[in-house]
Structure 1
């Protein structure tokens, strides 16, 4: 997601209709969804709140939920994979409960699809230099050109090219896919991703020299060759993760919600058009976060030029409708963005974030 603070973090939930009922392949069904998070929202903090949120989403015309499962260096569900790595079973706010299991049960009972959203991706902490991850796995940490810990907008990052965090995140994703009846999994602007300022740790230096023996290691983090090389490695990881999920459960949707392109590649090494064209993205949900209609229309039209006609049914714009700081888009703006999506050939969208439904009670599609 966009790099807002913990208190303004975006909540994503996305819903889609049953492929059996609709007679369509899962990856061609238009989604109308929202992100659900544990920050600036109470949806996941009790079963009663979860049940109410599911009812609200259905009444609003939504069909899919993207539910946070990995935030601030902790899983919200009880994770044996996490416990094996740092000795902690789950996020302390959720001990004794399994909010993922609860929202899957409530969502499916209401006919909604539920996707596990690995929000933090390769970021292991937010404004916290005492993280258990940093203490136990210092070799995983990303480094900038000054040799400092890789940090951007308060988020501390692993080296996303390192096999350690790659293996951990893949194990985490597969743990969810194998043990929960999720309809899909999602990475966003942190999975697969890393700030372009990274890549100056010893592991990445050695890897670059090994793969480019005739080239000097770049002095600048945003050297064009270096950017593309790092992006290619992240794309390769995304492809491996996609294949691993499909091997575990062929029907599990794999979606990515990156930033807009080419900013996504220039700043976070996300070359998502390559993911789409390469066949390792069931859905792409680009974050078209804009506060007014002219700005939204401009970025939407730009997005349309980046997508081949044959792949349009895999792309659904992400809309900014509310924030934890109190921002709320008005009804006219939201309906106008939906209208523009249809006029430009996009059949669905995902709203950022769920609290919109607590602030504006209406059916988005009537």
Structure 2
């Protein structure tokens, strides 16, 4: 048995006993299942051992740069964590990498010529403050590398390291995104991999985290990768010229596999410093993730690289939402790891009605899926209904606690 398999078995066994304790203490229904390939001590091979539904009950929220007015104020962070705990949330995902900047005092970023610009109002370390306050309220904290391999053209990162960027076939280097115009770091270059990996190691070594999350931007648009370095590497490894068609199946698979290898490196780094940490990913639905962004998250799960999956299903229409959460790859993932659905609770200039949020949560939980919300202030502060009404509706949705057990 390999050391990685031993670790995964130990991790699942500990989760089993922690979850069993939840049955005794909380009366949680024992309806979720461990994968048949992983059984606790005393079980016979082939048995499927029931564990509580709470194993799958991710109830999370992303803390974004839109929430910076709260994150910079320690007293407001304290109030926010207390609110979330009282409403039976169990996980927060604070942003630590956005627009080419670290949202914590990073030595690695400073060495790369990236200044530290996101301090608290009193000069405090925002990430350390969130971790302390969240843990005090019994919430897990999984820092989130929001921008992944993206960086705005005007960022110090893009300006200081143009050799780290990749391009399209016509030489263009920017693309549109929800965050505006961005450039893409080349995931195939060792220098880029080393930089991102070092940021991950820095956080894992310095902070009392429960995991680390990578999202749909730890990827590459499928029409990128035509820079000289990547062309040369492809020709060297395949003895074939780079196809002119960005959607050529072999060319897509080669790039997707390289990104998968990079994710494996990130996973190994996290586990080196925090063996019990949750390696979380929050991609787009699989068709979009793979075909548009070369992100083979099904392959990541099959390789045992993912401890938690949150699929971003940001939809304003229930039919489209339902179609996505019933996809077979989500059902497959549920047999192996905790899975949740990312639900949009509103944008700054387009609030989401609470009735739609409620419908999406109920539809997700009916499938045994957890949920996480984008983003904190849109839960109830930047919303069309009064704060008290929104919070009461969330209280109805999460009427009983669903603790997640940290093994950090």
Aligned counterpart in structure 1 of residue 364 of structure 2, from 333, 341, 347: 341
Give a deviation string over 1:155-189, Cα, whole Å, max 9, x none.
22111221111111110011001100011100001
**TM-superposed deviation, 1:357:** 3.1
Determine whether 1:143 maps to 2:176.
no
Deviations along 1:30-50, whole A, 9 cap, x unmatched? 211010112255221211121
Distance 1:62 1:114 in 2: 12
TM-score, normalized by length of structure 1? 0.87
Q: Which runs of 5+ in 2 are unaligned?
A: 1-13, 23-50, 384-389, 400-408
The verdict on how the C-alpha distance between 1:309 and 1:51 changes in structure 2, with shifts beyond 3 A counting, is closer
Match of 1:124 among 123, 127, 151: 151
The verdict on how the C-alpha distance between 1:95 and 1:226 changes in structure 2, with shifts beyond 3 A counting, is: farther
Displacement, 1:310? 2.6
* Residues in 2 aligned to 1:339 and 1:271: alpha-carbon distance in whole angstroms: 28
Deviations 1:197-220 (A, max 9, x none): 11011110011001110x221112
Q: How many residues align?
A: 340
| 1:227 match | 252
Superposed, 1:1-366 pairs within 5 Å as: 22=19, 23=21, 28=55, 30-39=57-66, 42-86=69-113, 88-91=115-118, 96-125=123-152, 129-153=153-177, 154-191=181-218, 193-213=219-239, 215-303=240-328, 307=332, 310-311=335-336, 313-330=337-354, 332-346=355-369, 348-355=370-377, 356-358=379-381, 359=383, 360-362=390-392, 363=395, 364-366=397-399
TM-score, with normalisation over the residues of structure 2?
A: 0.78
Alpha-carbon distance, 1:352 to partner: 1.3
SS at match of 1:43: helix
Runs of 4+ aligned residues of structure 1 deviating over 3 Å after TM superposition are 18-25, 89-95, 303-306
Larger Rg belongs to: 2
Q: CA deviation at 1:90?
A: 4.2
Whether contact under 8 Å (1:34, 1:351) holds in the other structure is yes
Please list every run of 5 or more consecutive structure 1 residues that lacks an aligned counterpart in the other structure.
1-17
In the alignment, the residues of structure 2 paired with residue 84 and residue 208 of structure 1 have an alpha-carbon distance, to the nearest angstrom, of 30
Cα distance, 1:28 vs structure 2 = 4.2
Q: CA deviation at 1:89?
A: 3.3
CA RMSD of aligned residues (A): 2.3
**8 Å CA contact 2:234, 2:241 repeated in 1:** no
- The 1:342/1:242 distance shift into structure 2, 3 A limit, reads same
2:47 aligns to what? Answer: none
Q: 1:351 to 1:66 in 2, by over 3 A?
A: same
Question: What do residues 122-146 of structure 1 show as CA deviations (whole Å, max 9, x unaligned)?
Answer: 1122xxx333222321110111111
CA distance in 1, matches of 2:202, 2:256: 26
